[in-house]
Structure 1
Amino acid sequence: MSNSDRVVLVLGGAGTVGSGIVKALLDKGFKVAVISRDNSRLERLRAFVSPSTKDNLVTIMGNVGLEDEVEQVKQQLLKQVGKVTDVVSSLGFSWWQGGPPHTQTLKDLHWVIETLLFSTFVAWKAFSPLVRDDSNCTYTFITGGAGEKLLMPGTGFLTVGAASSLAFCQVLREEYPELPCKMNQVNIDTGVGTPDRMAPGYLNHLDLGEAVATLVERRNASHTVFTVRCPADLKTVILEKNL
């Protein structure tokens, strides 16, 4: 199956990490679908991708994190693209600094967990049936290193939410060890920025997108965690290990 025959659903594709992945997939000849609640973010994404690939980008307004809405969005997606062969899940947010736990409310914690874990679960339950039984298909989770450590004082709830996402991915690997679909996780243990907002050690979202797109394209690994701690890891951890 050539790239032009594959349709990749990028969940969170309008965000910083997701937009780099979307652009790289389109540049490789994939058809890509992105769902977002915010039409302005979808407009920015359409303006961001390579002009020659815009016809292969399908954007849909909708919420994939709510059970009572995701099925409707799923049917709309299938009506427009016909099939989905690959899913990249990059849901949630990259930063939260609301303060130490004793200053927060249960509502704050619930929002963090809902954004980082619940949405990932709801989307996985809805969209994984489209790809899970086919060895030619992939489902790739993008997670963050905040789940394994406190980034700095005041970010504790981010660690709790990110850790729950890591645990969910571990559960899926161990609950479904014989799943035909190539299910993998890219765990980013550093910052990610656009070219105009970089810091030392950060990953350029375009370089990250290229690495993730190559992982999806090659389909050489399954039930594997690729941990990226610096820009060099994009090549040694993801690309070279999947030759």
Structure 2
Amino acid sequence: MSNSDRVVLALGGAGKVGSGIVKGLLDKGFKVAVISRDSSRLEKLRSFVSPNTKDNLTTIVGNVGSEEEAEQAKQALLKEVGKVTDIVSSLGFSWWQGGPPHTQSLKDLHWLLALHSWCVYVVFCCFATGGAGEKLLMPGTGFLTVGAASTLAFCHVLREEYPEVPCKLNQVKINTGVATPDHMAPGFLNHLDLGEAVAALIERRNTAHNVFTINCPADLKSVLLERNL
């Protein structure tokens, strides 16, 4: 199956990390579908991708945060594109710094777990995760770490539970910041470079059940692009 015959569902594709992945996939000739609750973010994404690839981008207003709404979004998507051959997830990991855990409510914890874990449950795919689940980023981010850790654990469970699953299941673990070209900082990844690297991983269909850890910009080339996948 050629890239042009493959339809990639990019969950979180309207976000900072996801938009880079969407552009990278479109530039490689994939058809890409993006679901978002915010129609304005979808319009911004359409204006961001390369003009000659816009016809290969399908956008759906919907929510994958609950089973019922995810099913509705799925049916709307299938009506538009007919099939989905690949899924990449860059959901969650919005910044949160609400304070120490003992000052937070159970409602706050439920919300962060829903953001980081429950959405991930709807897919088996190429996950883009981060290192926030293994360390406290700074004071006040405790619940962010709990939510991110649940995503890392979920990815690990899926790899172990389904070692022989026919579809690929890979994880790209990003242990540094990701920014757009106009907001770069030392050691950060350019979201366009990240998108190109993730698109290359998805293009290589013989790779499955691996974790690719990205600690710095140089890793994008050495870990994802040059590695014998």
- TM over 0.5, shorter chain: yes
Q: What are structure 1's unaligned runs of at least 5 residues?
A: 129-138
SS at match of 1:196: helix
- Are residues 1:59 and 2:59 paired? yes
Report the Cα distance in structure 1 between the residues aligned to 2:101 and 2:21, rounded to whole angstroms. Answer: 33
CA positional deviation for 1:220:
3.1
Paired residues, number: 229
Q: Is the 8 A contact 2:93 2:148 kept in 1?
A: no
- Are residues 1:43 and 2:43 paired? yes
TM-score normalised by length of structure 1? 0.92
**What is the CA deviation profile of residues 151-180 of structure 1, one whole-angstrom value per residue up to 9, with x for unaligned ones?**
111111111000000000000000000011
Alignment partner, residue 169 of structure 2? 183
Runs of 4+ with deviation above 4 angstroms: none
Alignment partner, residue 159 of structure 1? 145
- Are residues 1:2 and 2:7 paired? no
**What is the CA deviation profile of residues 41-97 of structure 1, one whole-angstrom value per residue up to 9, with x for unaligned ones?**
000000100000000000000001111111111111111111111100111134211
Alignment partner, residue 234 of structure 1? 220
Alignment partner, residue 133 of structure 1? none
SS at match of 2:213: strand
TM-score normalised by length of structure 2? 0.98
Identity of aligned residues (%): 77
Alignment partner, residue 70 of structure 1? 70
SS at match of 2:96: coil
Alignment partner, residue 168 of structure 1? 154
Q: CA RMSD in A?
A: 0.9
CA positional deviation for 1:145:
0.5
Q: What are structure 2's unaligned runs of at least 5 residues?
A: none
CA positional deviation for 1:197:
0.8
Amino acid aligned to 1:32: V
Which of 201, 207, 212 matches 2:193?
207
Report the Cα distance in structure 1 between the residues aligned to 2:228 and 2:192, rounded to whole angstroms. Answer: 19
